[in-house]
Amino acid sequence: MNFAKRLATVITLAALCACSGGGSPLGAAAPLGAVASLDSFSARGFAADPSGSPRGKIQHVVIILQENRSTDNLFHGLPGADTANSGLDSNGNVVQLKQEPLVEIYDFAHTHKAFLNAYDNGKMDGANLNKAQCGISPECKALPPDLNYAYVQRSDIAEYFTLAEEYAFGDRMFQTNQGQSYPAHQFIIAGTSEPSVGSDLFVSENPFLGGINVGCKAPKSSRVLEIEPNGKEDLTTYPCFEHATLMDLLDAKHRTWKYYTNASDSVWNGPNSIKHIRFGAGWKNVVVPESRVLRDIASGHLADVAWVNPNSDESDHPGVTNGTGPAWVASIVNAIGKSGYWKNTAIFVSWDDWGGLYDHVAPTIYDSYEYGLRVPLVVVSPYAKRGYVSHVTHDFGSILKFTEETFGLPSLGFADARADDLSDCFNFGGPARTFQAIPSRHDAQYFLSQPEPAGPADSD
């Protein structure tokens, strides 16, 4: 079977899963039957919601994915949200969370093993086992223990608090996967990190052996670990995969998409590891550098669906960020808010993984690799509930499901099939809210004028 036919089969199976009312979260093939038209799908979750449906009101979805923060760490003290002042360590001690600046010189392990340490079978008492390690600062030497039991001082992240208090915030948002950035950026475009159609494996860590270049153009020596259903990480594969993504469903409905990223070969570039996108027509929609999203908004070229990733400076990644992440996110929100796009756009701001930082809420475990720990979620839209804190369980699949329902797409049959659709965060039955600019230290022109930082975005 040639690739075009194989990809069509994948999309057909996704449609069949959606038509049967669920789908296989692990990508198992659906029973064969009549092929459902992509046009036949409606906003399934919102249809029964008295607050209304996004269909017809939302025409643009923007997914901003920041880096490596837990909910307890970044939104400590947000009114109405479940955040902690202290946590347990593996010795049964109560550790008080300390206030820290956003800009730090250290980083923390956030591999699958680090997740298992922190989670500790639901006791959430092993974050201290994930020791601090030096970031890129030459000043970073010996580091004291328990640095990951911390929260960011509010003055450094004022833009985030303004967004969360003005719009909707999810305090039960979980990273779908139990590992690092690289597989997380697969889940946010596809709801899975399976290496091939029908596999029962997940790609589970960042690639190694190939240097800083990752994905389908990485050196042949490059490998990435896979996790088996029994939880073992004994297998490896080349970091170039083949399965359906949300981009494919959008293409099939003639919907536009763009993926803004800091580099073509970064671990933060999900499409770079999907073979038919990397070597196909879709690669033209992968936009480098990420700041071009601001030009596209200003010039009236915002795609129907846009993924936006930061560069290392603009990220919130411990040991890497220069602290401009909150202003970077605010610059995108303000650009949309001041444009004609505001009245029909939903913006989702989340973080790709917990970064090894303490969080006290135990996730639901579905299999050997899903869910991971809590990450923040901010929902910005003229229809988002004002000052609302959602206690409903969400994950990356929820963002995919909202997008599928908004544009009448079938389910991919992975995390999106199991997830909720974020309907509790919206009121589509009411009028669109007038945008009020988010006060920020930097605007769009600042970010458009900054040179791209040298070096990899994230290699841990």
329 part of a folded domain: yes
Give yes or no: residues 269 and 165 share one domain: yes
How far is residue 70's CA from residue 296's CA, in Å, rounded to a whole number? 31
Answer yes or no: is 237 within a domain: yes
**Domain co-membership, 344 together with 361:** yes
The pLDDT value recorded for residue 50 is 43
Point out which residues pair with 236 in neighbouring strands: 225
Choose the final residue of a domain: 122, 152, 182. 152
Residues 314, 391, single domain; the answer is: yes
pLDDT (0 to 100) of residue 19: 40
Q: Are residues 127 and 269 in the same domain?
A: no
Q: Looking at the structure, tell me whether residues 380 and 440 fall in a common domain.
A: yes
Domain co-membership, 213 together with 240: yes
The predicted pLDDT at position 48 comes to 43
Shared domain for 42 and 93, answered yes or no, is no
In this predicted structure, what is the pLDDT of residue 135? Answer: 67
Cβ contacts of 188 within 8 Å, gap of 6 or more: 63, 65, 270, 307, 352, 396, 399, 400
Pick the last residue of a domain from 132, 152, 172.
Answer: 152
Q: Is residue 61 part of a domain?
A: yes
* Count of the separate structural domains present in the chain: 2
Q: Are 110 and 372 in contact (CB under 8 A)?
A: no
In sequence order, which residues have a C-beta less than 8 Å from that of residue 4 and are 6 or more positions away? none
Q: Is there a single domain that holds both residue 262 and residue 396?
A: yes
Q: Is residue 32 part of a domain?
A: no
Residues 43 and 111 in one domain: no
Residues, the chain: 460
* Cα dihedral sign, 169-172-173-179: positive
Listed in order, strand segments (DSSP E) in 204-304 are 224-227, 235-237, 257-260, 286-287
Instruction: Report yes or no on 77 lying in a domain.
Output: no
Final residue of a structural domain among 152, 185, 207: 152
Do 330 and 226 lie in a common domain?
A: yes
Claim to verify: residue 45 and residue 168 sit in the same structural domain: yes
Per-residue pLDDT of the chain (460 residues; tens, 9 = 90+): 444 554 565 555 544 444 433 333 333 333 222 223 333 333 335 544 445 677 789 999 999 999 999 999 999 999 999 999 999 999 999 999 999 999 988 899 999 999 999 999 999 999 999 988 886 667 777 678 899 999 999 999 999 999 999 999 999 999 999 999 999 999 999 999 999 999 999 999 999 987 778 999 999 999 999 999 999 999 999 999 999 999 999 999 999 999 999 999 999 999 999 999 999 999 999 999 999 999 999 999 999 999 999 999 999 999 999 999 999 999 999 999 999 999 999 999 999 999 999 999 999 999 999 999 999 999 999 999 999 999 999 999 999 999 999 999 999 999 999 999 999 999 999 899 999 999 999 999 999 999 988 755 655 5
What CATH code is carried by the domain that includes residue 171?
A: 3.40.720.10
Note the pLDDT of residue 105.
85
Buried b (16+ CB within 10 A) or exposed e, 295-322: ebbeeeebbbbbbbbbbbbbbbbbbbbe
314 and 338 housed in the same domain: yes
pLDDT at 29: 31
Q: Tokens 């909707």 correspond to what residue?
A: 168
Task: Give the global pTM.
Answer: 0.90
The phi, psi pair for 211, rounded to 5°, reads 80, -155
Instruction: Report DSSP state, residue 175.
Output: -
Per the structure, the complete domain to which residue 108 belongs is given by 85-152
Longest Cα–Cα distance in the chain: 63
